[in-house]
Amino acid sequence: MTMKALDVSTSVNDVLTQYPETVSIFNAFGIDACCGGAASLREAARRDGVDLAELLGALQTAVTRVEVPR
Residue 8 in this model has a pLDDT that exceeds 60: yes
User: Each residue of 17-27: pLDDT tens digit?
Assistant: 999 999 999 99
Strand partners, 40: 11
CA distances from 18 to 21, 31, 38 (A): 9, 17, 14
In a domain, 23, yes or no: yes
In a domain, 4, yes or no: no
Calpha distance 65→47 (Å, rounded): 27
In a domain, 62, yes or no: yes
Q: How many domains does the chain have?
A: 1
User: Which residues form the domain of 58?
Assistant: 12-67
In a domain, 46, yes or no: yes
Calpha distance 25→59 (Å, rounded): 6
User: Each residue of 47-59: pLDDT tens digit?
Assistant: 999 999 999 999 9
